[in-house]
């Protein structure tokens, strides 16, 4: 009889349950308070970065904080420092933030390229524009309704057009060369001296 | 031999008859006015002979189709002999003028598995046209700094501390009544001792006495505390002779019968025999406290 089982089991369980309930609830409340405090701390750091005060940001920081540092670096066109942060954002499930970070990286590259073009250094500007277009394209893949990325991709595309013959198979992706492995020791002496 | 041959012929005839699908149709809700980065939905409808399905391995794979077009998603839907492919493309063509581009078609394989083996039939999904539009004028107004042609980097979002704060407050608000329930169950402050929790009070008194330095007065007081607990539980003054009747009325405390009997014997020695030392030897205060604690546990579970 389930009703009988309940009547027997309930008085025995009741003291333990009454003890566990406030303990669990207080533990949950404490965890919520810690999360709130962390969010507030991250927001203060984001505000600092937006105000132009640099803060070191670890790659395991919350995604909005990573993005704030990426935008700070983009403002200074420091593309090399941005790359590990964008790569860290890739592992988070935040497509909108990743799109914004890639867009900022594309902008930083394109600004450097435009600066080089201004100084008539066309050769180093080319690869930068191609890389910037890749970032815009990836930003749009993550967020198809990202209008600023569409606009800037159009600007970059007018500087260097796509050539159908060149990358018909690979699209905009650059394939990495498989690692070349030495099958023989170079320079090993052979035959008679 | 003859029936087998006849069967084979029928099968071949059936295979040739079903090899041709009735129709393949590409339907696009809108074929014009796409900017770069826009998603393009296309629906391929294939009407087959009964029993035929589209081979899953022949479906187009998401990825780059041409240098300006990606295939993002392929979903299939089947209703009877009508098979529908929902294709989602993304165009990256940076148009300078409005123009029409050709989206390439692709082959599909229809297959029909029956007891005699599988029959396959290839079909071709035709290419279709897509109209793309420019997003900017051909020659924008001149700017001093070329970087001004670009849209700004923009700002990222902040973290939202509201959900964890709400959760923390709600849990804390729930913890308060839970704590009150616990305090009531254990007869903690602000709840007064009541007959239903008489042993809780006795156990508390004994615990505080056990922490104090050993003394005869303290021992007597401890015994009295347990007496008061038993009295409150029984509803009247409980003597050693009433113990059996009491345990009969409250079977929950029966596991403590031996300890209670020893307690009454020690109490008799301490209060009437004037032999507190012997009483303490028979029933030390620590054991009386343990007994009271066990009684309190049984009381809460009763």
Residues B121 and B203 in one domain: no
- At residue A32, does pLDDT exceed 90? yes
Chain B, 176-235: which have a CB under 8 Å from a chain A CB?
178-179, 181-182, 185
| Count of residues making up chain B | 302
DSSP designation for B253: G
State the Cα–Cα distance between residues A71 and A50, nearest whole angstrom: 8
CA–CA min distance A55, chain B (Å): 16
B110 in a structural domain: yes
pLDDT confidence of residue A191: 65
CATH for the stretch A18-159? 1.25.40
Q: What is the dihedral of CA A50, A116, A162, B33, to 10 degrees?
A: 50
pLDDT confidence of residue B273: 85
Total number of domains in chain B:
2
Nearest to A140 by CA among A96, A91, A75: A96
pLDDT confidence of residue A179: 52
B296 in a structural domain: yes
B147 in a structural domain: no
Give me the residue from B153, B169, B174 closest to A74, CB to CB.
Answer: B153
- At residue A135, does pLDDT exceed 90? yes
CA–CA min distance A188, chain B (Å): 45
Higher local confidence (pLDDT), A94 or B6: A94
pLDDT confidence of residue B170: 96
Q: Could you say which of B134, B165, B191 is where a domain stops?
A: B134
Mean per-residue pLDDT, B92-112: 91
Give me the residue from B64, B94, B160 closest to A157, CB to CB.
Answer: B94
State the Cα–Cα distance between residues B270 and B284, nearest whole angstrom: 12
B225 in a structural domain: yes
* CB contact B297 to A (< 8 Å): yes
B167 in a structural domain: no
Joined tokens for residue A64: 């909005």
B4 in a structural domain: no
pLDDT confidence of residue B194: 82
pLDDT confidence of residue B60: 93
State the Cα–Cα distance between residues B39 and B33, nearest whole angstrom: 11
State the Cα–Cα distance between residues B282 and B216, nearest whole angstrom: 14
Return the domain boundaries, chain A: 18-159
Q: Where are the alpha helices (DSSP H) in B66-215?
A: 162-186, 198-211
Mean per-residue pLDDT, B232-255: 89
Tokens 């198809």 label which residue?
Answer: A144
ipTM above 0.85, yes or no: no
- At residue B53, does pLDDT exceed 60? yes
Per residue in B191-204, pLDDT (tens digit) is: 877 888 888 888 99
Q: Name the residue range of residue B31's domain.
A: 18-134
Q: How far is CA B236 from CA B195, B221, B239, B255, B294, in A?
A: 11, 19, 9, 22, 21
Own/partner pairs, B8-12, CB within 8 angstroms, 24+ separation: B11/B116
Per residue in A4-31, pLDDT (tens digit) is: 888 878 888 888 899 999 999 999 999 9
State the Cα–Cα distance between residues A129 and A157, nearest whole angstrom: 8
B152 in a structural domain: no
CA–CA min distance A97, chain B (Å): 7
Residues B191 and B92 in one domain: no
The verdict on a CB contact (< 8 Å) between A111 and B147 is: yes
CA–CA min distance A91, chain B (Å): 18
CA–CA min distance A191, chain B (Å): 52
Per residue in A43-78, pLDDT (tens digit) is: 999 999 999 998 899 988 899 999 999 999 999 989
Joined tokens for residue B272: 């009437």
Chain A, 42-101: which have a CB under 8 Å from a chain B CB?
42-43, 46, 50, 62, 64-65, 67-68, 71, 74-75, 97, 100
Domain harbouring B90, CATH code = 2.60.40
Radius of gyration of chain B (CA): 45
Mean per-residue pLDDT, B123-131: 92
The verdict on a CB contact (< 8 Å) between A18 and B39 is: no
* CB contact B13 to A (< 8 Å): no
Give me the residue from B150, B164, B179 closest to A110, CB to CB.
Answer: B150
Q: Could you say which of B71, B103, B134 is where a domain stops?
A: B134
* CB contact A134 to B (< 8 Å): no
B153 in a structural domain: no
The verdict on a CB contact (< 8 Å) between B66 and A168 is: yes
- Are residues B291 and B256 in contact, defined by beta-carbon separation less than 8 angstroms? yes
Q: Could you say which of B95, B116, B134 is where a domain stops?
A: B134
Q: Which of A11, A17, A22 to mutate to test the interface with B (most CBs of B within 10 A)?
A: A22
Q: What is the dihedral of CA A102, A108, A113, A117, to 10 degrees?
A: 140
List of chain A residues whose C-beta atoms are within 8 Å of the C-beta of residue B102? none
- Are residues B246 and B203 in contact, defined by beta-carbon separation less than 8 angstroms? no
The verdict on a CB contact (< 8 Å) between A26 and B301 is: no
């Amino acid at each position: 009889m389930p009703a009988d089982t309940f009547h027997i089991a309930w008085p025995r369980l009741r003291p333990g349950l009454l003890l566990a309930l406030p303990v669990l609830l207080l533990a949950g409340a404490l965890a919520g308070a810690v999360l709130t405090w962390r969010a507030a701390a991250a927001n203060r750091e984001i505000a600092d970065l937006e105000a132009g005060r640099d803060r070191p940001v670890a790659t395991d920081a919350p995604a909005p904080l990573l993005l704030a540092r990426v935008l700070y670096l983009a403002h200074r066109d420091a593309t090399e420092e941005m790359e590990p942060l964008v790569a860290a954002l890739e592992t988070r499930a935040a497509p909108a933030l990743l799109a914004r970070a890639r867009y900022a990286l594309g902008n930083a590259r394109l600004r450097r390229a435009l600066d080089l073009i201004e100084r008539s250094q066309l050769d180093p500007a080319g690869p930068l524009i191609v890389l910037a277009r890749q970032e815009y394209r990836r930003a749009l893949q993550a967020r198809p309704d990202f209008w600023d990325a569409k606009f800037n991709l159009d600007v970059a595309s007018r500087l260097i057009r796509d050539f159908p013959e060149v990358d018909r198979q690979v699209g905009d992706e650059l394939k990495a060369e498989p690692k070349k492995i030495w099958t023989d020791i170079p320079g090993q002496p052979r035959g008679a001296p | 031999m003859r029936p087998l041959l006849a069967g084979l012929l029928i099968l071949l005839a059936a295979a040739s008859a079903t090899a041709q699908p009735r129709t393949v149709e590409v339907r696009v809700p809108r074929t014009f006015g796409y900017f770069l980065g826009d998603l393009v939905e296309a629906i391929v409808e294939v009407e087959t002979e009964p029993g035929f399905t589209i081979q899953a391995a022949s479906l187009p794979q998401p990825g780059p189709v041409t240098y300006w077009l990606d295939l993002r998603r392929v979903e299939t839907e089947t209703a009877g002999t009508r098979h529908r492919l929902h294709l989602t493309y993304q165009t990256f063509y940076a148009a300078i003028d409005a123009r029409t581009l050709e989206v390439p078609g692709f082959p599909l394989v229809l297959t029909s598995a029956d007891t005699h083996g599988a029959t396959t039939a290839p079909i071709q999904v035709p290419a279709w046209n897509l109209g793309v539009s420019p997003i900017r004028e051909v020659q924008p107004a001149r700017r001093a700094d070329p970087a001004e042609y670009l849209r700004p980097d923009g700002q990222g979002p902040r973290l939202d501390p509201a959900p964890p704060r709400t959760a923390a407050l709600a849990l804390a608000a729930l913890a308060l009544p839970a704590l009150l329930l616990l305090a009531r169950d254990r007869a903690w402050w602000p709840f007064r001792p009541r007959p239903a929790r008489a042993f809780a009070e006795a156990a508390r008194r004994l615990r505080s006495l056990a922490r104090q330095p050993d003394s005869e007065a303290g021992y007597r007081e401890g015994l009295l505390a347990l007496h008061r607990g038993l009295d409150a539980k029984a509803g009247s003054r409980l003597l050693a002779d009433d113990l059996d009747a009491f345990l009969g009325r409250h079977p929950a405390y029966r596991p403590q019968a031996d300890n209670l009997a020893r307690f009454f014997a020690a109490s008799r020695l301490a209060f009437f025999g004037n032999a507190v030392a012997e009483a303490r030897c028979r029933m030390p205060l620590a054991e009386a406290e343990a007994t009271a604690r066990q009684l309190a546990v049984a009381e809460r579970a009763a």
